[in-house]
Structure 1
Amino acid sequence: MQMTETMMSWQPTVAILLFLIAYAVWMTDQLNRTLIAIVAAVLFLLLGIAGWNHVFTYINWDMLLLWTGMMIISAVLGRSGWIRVLTVLVLRRSGGRPAWMFIGLMVLTAICSALLDSVSTMLLLVPMLLSIAKECRLPAAPFLIGAVLISNTAATATLIGQTSNMWIGTANPQLTFMAFIQVLGPIIGVLLCIQVLCIWLVYYKSLRFQPLLLQPEKWNITDPQDVQQTVRRGSREAVLVIFILTIILLMIAPALGWKPGWIAAAGAVVMLLIGQLAGIRTGTMLKQLEWEPLLFFAGLFIIAGGLVQSGWITTGATALIELTNGSMAWIALILLWMTGLLSMAMDHMPWIAVMIPLVQETGIQMDAESAGVLHPIWWALALGAGIGGSGTLLSSAAGLIAASMAERDNQRLRYLEFLRIGLPLTLFSLLIASLYVGYVLIP
C-alpha cells in the first residue's frame, strides 16, 4: 500500500493522530466520551481537516431522527405500564416454576430489546427481575446475566434494536427493517436458544422445573421507580396502538417511500401527545432522557467525514482489499471479528462511524456492480457490533445498567461471574456467526 503525496501532507497526519488519541481516551473511559468527540470534531473543523461547508452533509440526520424518535417512544411505552403487565403475565403462565419463569422472562427481554432497544429494556426490566429473584428466594445472577446477553443479541435482529443498526441501516437504505429481520433473524434466533440453554444449564440447580411454594399471584413485583401507576386505561391502550402502528410503518416504509427517521419522529410526537392525555408526566420524562448521545453521534459524524476528506478511508479500503485479495468472504469475516473483539473492550460506536464510510469506499474500489454485493459485509458489521457487546459486563450499556441497579439493590452482579459465562458464549456466538456469514450470506 503506497501513500499518495496528499496523504503525506500535514493534515492527514494530524487527522489520524487526533483520531487515535481520541480513541485511546475513549478506551480508558476516564473522561466524558461526548466531550472528547466534540473537542476532536471542533479541532477537525478548525484545522481544515473537515470542511465547515460540509458539516451538515457529514451528519446522518435520518439516523439521529430514528434514534431520538425511538428513545421517546420507548420511554412513553415504558411509563404506560405495559412492560409490567407482560411481566406479570409471564410469571402467572410459569406456574411458579423457576425454569419456565426464566425462559419466559428471557423471551420477553428478547422481544422488548428487538422492538424497543437494549437500554430501555434493561431500565424497565432489571428492577422487576431483581424483585422477582428476591420474592422467589432465587439468585439474581442468572436472570441478570441472561437479560444482558439476550438483550444485546436480540437487539441485533432489527433496525431499531441497536444504535449501530440504525447507523448502518440509514447509511444503506436497502438494509430495511424487514431486511434486518429476514437476514439476521434466523441466526439471532439460533444464538438466543443457545444462550438461554447454556445459562439454564449453568444454574439448573436453582432454575428447576418444580413449582415454588409461593405462587405468583402473591408476589409483590416492584416497578421501575419512574413508571406511572395512574395511567388512564383508554390512553394506555392508545399508547400501545401507536407503538404497533409505528412498527408496521417501519416495516412497509420502503413501499411508501418514507425514511425510518420520519416515521420514528412522527410516532414520537403522537406518543407524547397521548402520553400527556394519559397522565404521564412527559415534561419530566423528556428531562430524564439521555440527550447527550446526540452530541456524541454528531461529533463522530464530523470525525468520520474528516477522515474521508483527508484520504484515510480510501487508504484503509485499499489496504483491506489488498490484504484479502478482494475476497468478499474474508473482508466480511475480518470486519465481523475485529468489530466483535473491539466491542468487548469499549463502546463500538466510534469504530462503526469509521467502518461505514470504509465499507462504502471498498465497494467503490471493487467496482461492485450493485449495492447488494456489499450486503454480507454490512451484515457482518452489524453482527460483530451486536454480539461483541456481551463479552464482558462493562462492554455494553445493558451490562452497566444491570450491574449498577443490582448494586443499588444489594444484589451484586460480579464481573468474573458474568465473564465466565459471557465471554465463552460471545466467542462461540461469533464463531457461529462466522459460519453463517461464510456459508449462508456468501454462498
Structure 2
Amino acid sequence: MHEAVQNAGWQAAAAAVVALMAVGLGLKFVRCRAWFPLAGAAVLLAAGIAGPPAAVIETVPWRALALALTMGIIAAVIEEAGWLQLTAVRFYRLTSANPQKMLAMSMMLAAAASALLDGLTAMAALLPLLLAFTRAWKIPPSPFVIGMMLACNLGSGLSVAGTMPARLIGTAGELGLTGVWLVLGPLHAVLLVLAYLMIRTVYADKLKVGTERLRELQTAASGMDGSKGDIRNPAIALGLILLAYICADLSGLDLIWISGAGAALLFRSVIKRRGSLKSFAAGFVPLLALTAGWLLIAGALVQTGVLETAAGWLMKASSGDDQRAVLAVLWMSAVGAAFSDGTAWTAFSVPVVQIVSEQLQAVSPDHAGRLWYVLLSGIHLGANATSFSSFSSLLAFGVACSRKNGLTFREYARIGVPFSLFSLTLASLYLVGFWFGNN
C-alpha cells in the first residue's frame, strides 16, 4: 500500500476535479478522448498536487501496459491476415445467408475473438463484413451492430488480455485465463444466448428477407471460396499461443512472458510493411496513451487518499460482509463503467478493490481474492448499458450512426439498458447465491 500525502484536503479535491474534467471532456470530444487523461496527469504531476512524481509513477502497473502492447501486436497480425473475416465468410455459407442464423454465428465469433484476442480487433475485423451482408440482405444494420457490441463486451469479460480493463484487473488480481473461464464462463455464456434471443425477438421483422432475394443470396454464397488472405501461419501461431497461455496458467508462469514471446514471433509481420506499422500505431498508441493517463490520475487519487476514502465507504456499505461486498463491487463497477470511460473507471476501481480485499482478508480469507472476478464481470456487463464505455462499442456505434437509417443512441439504449440490468441481476444471483454459497 502506498503512503498517502499528509493533510491532502485541497490536493484530493484538485485531483478529483481533474479526473472528472478528463472524463467529461473525453465523453464530449470523443476523437480526442485518448489525450485528455494524459494532459490531466501532466498537470497533476507538474503542480506536485499528489506529492513527488516518482511516488505517483510507482503506482502505475507497467505490466498491464506491456501486456497491452504485446497483445496488440498479436491481434494486429491476426486481423491483417484475415482470419476472422474468413471465418465469418464461411459462417455465411454454412447459414445459407440466413440473417437470423448469421446473427447467432457472428455474435459467437465476436465473443470468442474478444475473449481470446482483443475486443477492439474483433469489432474492427468483423463489423465491415457484417455491414456488407446487411446491404446484400437489404435490411437495417442495427440488430447486427447491437449484437456485436453486446457480444464483444461479454467475451471481453472472460479474458485477462482482451481489453484494457481486463488487462488491468488481470494483472492486479493475478487472474489466470482458465480460472476466469471456469468461474465466469457459465454466466457469460448464458448471457450471450439471452442477448441473441432478445435481439432476435425485438428485431424479428427486420431480420426477415424476401424468399426470392434469399434464394439469390444462397446461390451466391454457395460459390464463395472464402480464401481471403493466407491464414495458415497466423492460425498456427494463434493456436500455439493459446496453448501456451493455458500451459502457462496451469504452471503459474506470468502471462506477460507468453504474450511477449508471441508478439516477438509475429512482430516481423507488423514492421515488414509500412502500412501495417502505421495501422498498428494509429490503433494502439492512443489506447496506451489513454491508459497511461488514467493510471497516473488514479495514482494521484491514491496518493491524496481519495480512493482509500471510497474503499472505506464501500466497506461501510457492505458492513464488512463478503457477500454484500460482492454486490457492492459488482454494481459499483457496472454503474461507473456505464456512465464513464470503462478504462478510467477500472483504473480507479482497482486500488479500491485492493484495499477492500485486504480488509476482507481478516474476515473471509478464502473469499477476499474473488472480488477481482466480480470486478472483471461488473465492468464489462456495465459497459453494455451505453454505447461509449468500451472502445469496441464506441467504434461500432460511430460507424453505424453515420449510415443512412443507422443506429441511434436511443435505439441502442432500448436494448442495452434493460439487458445490462437483467444481466447484473442474474450475475448477482450467480456470484452470491451459487458461487459464494457453495464454496
TM-score by length of 1: 0.87
Q: Which moved more, 1:46-55 or 1:187-196?
A: 46-55
Partner of 2:139: 138
Partner of 1:204: 204
| CA distance in structure 2 between the aligned counterparts of 1:221 and 1:265, rounded to whole angstroms | 40
Partner of 1:296: 290
Counterpart pick for 2:413 among 394, 419, 430: 419
The 1:180–1:287 alpha-carbon spacing in structure 2 relative to 1, beyond 3 Å, is same
Aligned-residue RMSD, C-alpha:
2.9
Q: Which moved more, 1:141-150 or 1:255-264?
A: 255-264
1:179 equivalent in alignment to 2:173: no
Partner of 2:384: 390
1:380 equivalent in alignment to 2:374: yes
| CA distance in structure 2 between the aligned counterparts of 1:116 and 1:10, rounded to whole angstroms | 43
1:40 equivalent in alignment to 2:40: yes
The 1:13–1:287 alpha-carbon spacing in structure 2 relative to 1, beyond 3 Å, is closer
Cα distance, 1:119 vs. partner?
A: 1.3
Count matched residues.
Answer: 429
Partner of 1:14: 14
The aligned amino acid for 1:92 is R
Cα distance, 1:219 vs. partner?
A: 5.0
Consecutive unaligned residues in structure 1, runs of 5 or more: 223-227
The aligned amino acid for 1:95 is S
Q: Deviations over 1:70-124 (max 9, x none)?
A: 1221111111121221111111111233322222222222212222222111111
Q: Deviations over 1:383-436 (max 9, x none)?
A: 121011121233332332223323555451122222212211111111111111
Q: Deviations over 1:18-51 (max 9, x none)?
A: 3344444445447833433223322332315143
Partner of 1:365: 359
Q: Deviations over 1:295-336 (max 9, x none)?
A: 222222222222222233333222322222101122221221
| CA distance in structure 1 between the aligned counterparts of 2:388 and 2:223, rounded to whole angstroms | 27
The 1:9–1:285 alpha-carbon spacing in structure 2 relative to 1, beyond 3 Å, is closer
1:328 equivalent in alignment to 2:322: yes
Partner of 2:62: 61
8 A contact 1:41–1:299 mirrored in 2: yes
1:353 equivalent in alignment to 2:347: yes
The 1:330–1:265 alpha-carbon spacing in structure 2 relative to 1, beyond 3 Å, is same
Partner of 1:77: 78
Partner of 1:251: 246
| CA distance in structure 2 between the aligned counterparts of 1:60 and 1:221, rounded to whole angstroms | 50
8 A contact 1:65–1:264 mirrored in 2: no
Partner of 2:301: 307
The aligned amino acid for 1:213 is R
| CA distance in structure 2 between the aligned counterparts of 1:57 and 1:422, rounded to whole angstroms | 38
8 A contact 1:44–1:50 mirrored in 2: no
Q: Deviations over 1:49-69 (max 9, x none)?
A: 143333553221211111111
SS at match of 1:290: helix
Counterpart pick for 2:262 among 259, 267, 279: 267
Consecutive unaligned residues in structure 2, runs of 5 or more: none
The 1:210–1:194 alpha-carbon spacing in structure 2 relative to 1, beyond 3 Å, is farther
Q: Which moved more, 1:66-75 or 1:294-303?
A: 294-303
The 1:6–1:331 alpha-carbon spacing in structure 2 relative to 1, beyond 3 Å, is same
| CA distance in structure 1 between the aligned counterparts of 2:405 and 2:129, rounded to whole angstroms | 13
Q: Which moved more, 1:364-373 or 1:385-394?
A: 364-373
Partner of 1:103: 104
SS at match of 2:385: coil
Q: Which moved more, 1:188-197 or 1:9-18?
A: 9-18
1:113 equivalent in alignment to 2:149: no
Q: Deviations over 1:218-274 (max 9, x none)?
A: 15999xxxxx96x4x4xx311111122222222222444432223222212211225
Q: Which moved more, 1:194-203 or 1:11-20?
A: 11-20
The aligned amino acid for 2:127 is V
Cα distance, 1:280 vs. partner?
A: 9.1
The aligned amino acid for 2:254 is K
| CA distance in structure 2 between the aligned counterparts of 1:8 and 1:414, rounded to whole angstroms | 44
The 1:221–1:370 alpha-carbon spacing in structure 2 relative to 1, beyond 3 Å, is farther
8 A contact 2:104–2:196 mirrored in 1: yes
Percent identity, aligned pairs only, is 28
8 A contact 1:320–1:331 mirrored in 2: yes
| CA distance in structure 2 between the aligned counterparts of 1:95 and 1:33, rounded to whole angstroms | 41
Cα distance, 1:17 vs. partner?
A: 3.9
The 1:53–1:288 alpha-carbon spacing in structure 2 relative to 1, beyond 3 Å, is closer
The 1:33–1:220 alpha-carbon spacing in structure 2 relative to 1, beyond 3 Å, is farther
| CA distance in structure 2 between the aligned counterparts of 1:102 and 1:361, rounded to whole angstroms | 42
The 1:371–1:295 alpha-carbon spacing in structure 2 relative to 1, beyond 3 Å, is farther
The aligned amino acid for 1:145 is I
| CA distance in structure 2 between the aligned counterparts of 1:216 and 1:295, rounded to whole angstroms | 46
Cα distance, 1:13 vs. partner?
A: 4.2
Cα distance, 1:10 vs. partner?
A: 4.2
| CA distance in structure 1 between the aligned counterparts of 2:17 and 2:97, rounded to whole angstroms | 58
8 A contact 2:298–2:348 mirrored in 1: yes
The 1:8–1:242 alpha-carbon spacing in structure 2 relative to 1, beyond 3 Å, is closer
| CA distance in structure 2 between the aligned counterparts of 1:104 and 1:326, rounded to whole angstroms | 44
The aligned amino acid for 1:131 is A
The 1:63–1:86 alpha-carbon spacing in structure 2 relative to 1, beyond 3 Å, is same
Q: Which moved more, 1:392-401 or 1:341-350?
A: 392-401
8 A contact 1:238–1:274 mirrored in 2: no
| CA distance in structure 2 between the aligned counterparts of 1:251 and 1:341, rounded to whole angstroms | 32
The aligned amino acid for 1:250 is Y
8 A contact 2:178–2:249 mirrored in 1: no
| CA distance in structure 1 between the aligned counterparts of 2:125 and 2:219, rounded to whole angstroms | 21
8 A contact 1:168–1:382 mirrored in 2: yes
The 1:322–1:250 alpha-carbon spacing in structure 2 relative to 1, beyond 3 Å, is same
Cα distance, 1:197 vs. partner?
A: 0.8
| CA distance in structure 2 between the aligned counterparts of 1:413 and 1:403, rounded to whole angstroms | 7
8 A contact 2:57–2:299 mirrored in 1: no
Counterpart pick for 1:218 among 191, 196, 220: 220
Partner of 1:225: none
Q: Deviations over 1:169-209 (max 9, x none)?
A: 10121x11111111111100010011111111112234359
